Amino acid sequence: MPKVDYLKIIHKYIKPNSFAYCFYISHAVLVTAKAVKIARRLKLSGNKVRFIEEAAMLHDIGIINTKAEEIGCNGKKPYICHIIEGQKILEKERLCKHALVARTHIGVGLTRNEITSNKSPLPLEDFIAKTIEEEIISYADLFFTKNPKTIWQEISFKEVKKDVCRFGIKHLEILNRWHKKFGE
């Protein structure tokens, strides 16, 4: 499996001198560091660790097509659509496995029933992490925001748990299962 030049791809879609880049790269690096640390602690293969590094750096690429002006994104789509937009970008780059990470990294997952009940602008499909790599990146992502005031601070598990609780007991059960597998 050839190594992916993720910085080249990021720079193609998010210009390094842009306001959005500051938020994107900070968040991506922090999530990647946590995800890679988990993968190494679990003694995953070198190929899996490398994939996690690449996919974590690219997981949020779709933000550039969303309307999130506070982080320099001036697209037309609602922010939640960054998972679909990221999937499209990475599929266009012929990175289908990486595209699945972009697609499924929405909290601990989102079901079609939740999309319907929340009237979310996403397709009526399940957005659920299926592989250990997808789970690790989704888990690591929960600990970092793109909030300009707290972008460099890792959120405590207690805070992550409080945030995930808003989505119901099933989400909390998934988070607790992931925390047992991946937590420190």
The Cα–Cα gap between 76 and 167 comes to 26
What is the third-level CATH fold of 6-182? Hypothetical protein af1432 (1.10.3210)
Instruction: Provide the CB-side half-sphere exposure for 177 (13 A, CA).
Output: 10
CB 140 within 8 A of CB 179: no
Per-residue pLDDT 10s for the chain (184 aa) are 789 999 999 999 999 999 999 999 999 999 999 999 999 999 999 999 999 999 999 999 999 999 999 999 999 999 999 999 999 999 999 999 999 999 999 999 999 999 999 899 999 999 999 999 999 999 999 999 988 888 889 999 999 999 999 989 999 999 999 999 998 7
Give pTM, 2 decimals: 0.96
Instruction: Provide the CB-side half-sphere exposure for 19 (13 A, CA).
Output: 8
The domains of the chain are located at 6-182
Tell me, rounded to whole angstroms, the distance of Cα 117 from its chain centroid. 23
